[in-house]
Amino acid sequence: MTVPTTTTGRLVEVDHPLVRHKLTLLRKVETDTAQFRSLVEELANLITYEATKDLETEPIEIQTPVETTMGQAVSGKKVAVVPILRAGLGMVDGVLRMVPVAKIGHIGLYRDEETLEPVTYYEKFPDDMAHRDVLLLDPMLATGGSVTVAVDAVKRAGATSIRLLAILAAPEGIARLHADHPDVDIYVAGIDEKLNEKGYIVPGLGDAGDRLFGTQ
Ligand code: PRP
Ligand code: URA
């Protein structure tokens, strides 16, 4: 599903049989930590394919073993990948397989279990964020509080082109991010029904960080 509008960022639910299959495996309660980690990486790789569809290219002349021909090279802005710690770390390798020369920033946030408000504990970004397309990584867009604070931080660091790559989103988080940062496009493998009273995505997949790092 692609919903382009002029007033908010785009919302793209990556629609592909492999994405649907892997997302289903990821949700299952019996999926263990090792499988969960591989699936998050694979899904991040597939989402990146969609999220980088509009990168600019330019023609270049190359020599094949047979003859000289014209090819295409990615041009325009370079990429910065910014995982939101902890769970965003699980997506990094899948994204970097597609854009290996990207620089990497980090933002450390956790959601206070009582208030659900994000608490920032770490920030480190490349110094040329203004000249990069930023791919912000977080598997879960729940209330949207964490991503909103992370977008504030990358904007303070100079970024003007920002896309969120997530695995699951709740309608509440999408609405919050579009309201607070209408310039940020969202690419997601699945959009779920709602949040429960603890702020968990329903049906969801549980706590992404705990399942990735085996800390339940
Ligand atoms: C999870 C998840 C997001 C956040 C989403 O992180 O990885 O960052 O919650 O919730 P929100 O949209 O309501 O802000 P968590 O706070 O559990 O930290 P962790 O990644 O260190 O486990
Ligand atoms: N964070 C998670 O890891 N899972 C949710 O369902 C909501 C927030």
Name the least confident of 99-108, 113-122, 201-210: 113-122
- Nearest alpha carbon, ligand 1 atom 9: 111
Among protein residues, the one whose CA lies closest to atom 4 of ligand 2:
207
How far does the chain reach from its first CA to its final CA, in angstroms? 33
Catalytic hit among 115, 127, 156, 215: 115
Query: What pLDDT was estimated at residue 76?
Result: 81
How many percent of the chain have pLDDT more than 70?
A: 97
- Residue 96's pLDDT is 98
Is the per-residue pLDDT at 212 higher than 60?
yes
Write a three-state SS string for the chain: CEECCCCCCCEEECCCHHHHHHHHHHHCCCCCHHHHHHHHHHHHHHHHHHHCCCCCEEEEEEECCCCEEEEEEECCCEEEEEEEECCCHHHHHHHHCCCCCCEECEEEEEECCCCCCEEEEEEECCCCHHHEEEEEECCEECCCHHHHHHHHHHHHCCCCEEEEEEEEECHHHHHHHHHHCCCCEEEEEEECCEECCCCCEECCCCCHHHHHHCCC
Pairwise CA distance, residues 41 & 110, whole Å: 21
Q: Which of 93, 111, 120, 152 is catalytic?
A: 111
Beta-carbon contacts of 87 under 8 Å, excluding residues fewer than 6 positions away, are: 138, 139, 140, 208, 209, 212
Q: Which of 89, 113, 207 to mutate to test the pocket of ligand 2 (most atoms within 8 A of CB)?
A: 207
Report the residue count for the chain.
216
Does residue 86 have a cis peptide bond before it, meaning omega lies within 30 degrees of 0? yes
**Do the bridges between strand 118-124 and strand 106-111 make them parallel or antiparallel, or are there none, so unpaired?**
antiparallel
**Residue 3 pLDDT greater than 50, yes or no:** no
Q: Is the CB of 84 under 6 A from ligand 1?
A: yes
Does the CB atom of residue 204 touch ligand 2 within 6 A?
yes
Q: Which domains, ranges and CATH numbers included, belong to the chain?
A: 2-55+75-213 (3.40.50.2020)
What does the block give as tokens for 7? 């007033």
Position 6 pLDDT exceeds 80:
no
Q: 172 CB less than 6 Å from ligand 2?
A: no
Look up tokens 């969120």; give the residue: 164
Reply yes or no on whether 115 is catalytic.
Answer: yes
What is the position in ligand 2's atom list of the atom closest to the CA of 205?
A: 6
Residue 160 contacts residue 193 (beta carbons within 8 Å): no
86 ligand 1 Cβ < 6 A: yes
pTM, 2 dp: 0.94
| Alpha-carbon span 118 to 176, nearest angstrom | 14
Mean pLDDT across 104-108: 98
